Amino acid sequence: MKRIVKSLSLLPVILAALAISASAMHIAEGFLPGGWAIAWGVISLPFVVAGLFSIRSKVRENPKLKVLLAMAGAFAFVLSALKIPSVTGSCSHPTGVGLGAILFGPTPMAVLGTIVLIFQAMLLAHGGLTTLGANVFSMAIVGPFVSFGVFKLLKKANAPTAVAVFCAAFLGDLLTYVTTSFQLGMAFPGESFIASLVKFLGIFAVTQLPLAVAEGILTVVIVNVLEKYSESELKTLKVI
């Protein structure tokens, strides 16, 4: 199992090495007004607390899941650290949260996503500590909940696992950016919230759509490998 995790970790690392340096699309340090920064932190906190209890429960029931949990966190860290310039002059990145949400559910990813965002803010200058709550809500809460919900709905409809995984990762990635656009639109409405929202959506949508497709495909590949070599763990997690 450890050998498989090590092998899987090489793929996002290779992608990271190919990425061009730019500012990732986490909301930057000090960019949000104080009231909004505090509000998003308060909204996100209960999800993170719930995630801590969920992780403790899952690990207590099956300690072997620690390896997969660590892999899911590393996957999210590396993918969300990619910095890919946009044709609009801004830039964007995958999120990597879909895999963990499919494996463990949405609340554990609130914890892993928070850890990822803290490290990126402190070590890579992606996002920031004052905007941590907003970034956690979009990437570590909305993204995983969307991915988990889509995966469960499609599996309940007897869709093939590969289709369910792709759609879950694709929409989880895309809805993260839609949420961030809503956050920025509410914080900086300008003449109107709708006009501001459309502006922010337009800035990132061109880049994010192909990135979401790429993340969906990569997540399918990894789940296929896990399905082959870690079938018992995936059955325990009710992924298959």
Phi, psi of 131 (to 5 degrees): -105, 15
pLDDT of 135 reads 93
Q: What CA–CA distance (Å, rounded) separates 22 from 204?
A: 14
pLDDT of 8 reads 47
Contacts 24+ apart (CB under 8 A), 19-23: 19/82, 19/83, 19/84, 20/83, 20/84, 20/85, 21/83, 22/83, 22/84, 22/85, 22/91, 23/83, 23/91, 23/126
pLDDT of 150 reads 97
Block residue for tokens 């992606």: 126
Considering only residues 141 and 88, tell me which one the structure prediction assigns the higher pLDDT.
141
Instruction: With cut-offs at 50, 70 and 90, classify the pLDDT of residue 134.
Output: very high
Q: Which domains does the chain have, with CATH numbers?
A: 2-12+31-83+92-229 (1.10.1760.20)
Within 8 A by CB and 6+ apart from 41, the residues are 132, 133, 134, 136
Q: What CA–CA distance (Å, rounded) separates 195 from 103?
A: 38
Instruction: With cut-offs at 50, 70 and 90, classify the pLDDT of residue 11.
Output: very low
Flag whether pLDDT at 19 surpasses 50.
no
Q: What CA–CA distance (Å, rounded) separates 37 from 51?
A: 21
Instruction: With cut-offs at 50, 70 and 90, classify the pLDDT of residue 86.
Output: low
Give the predicted TM-score (pTM) of the model.
0.85
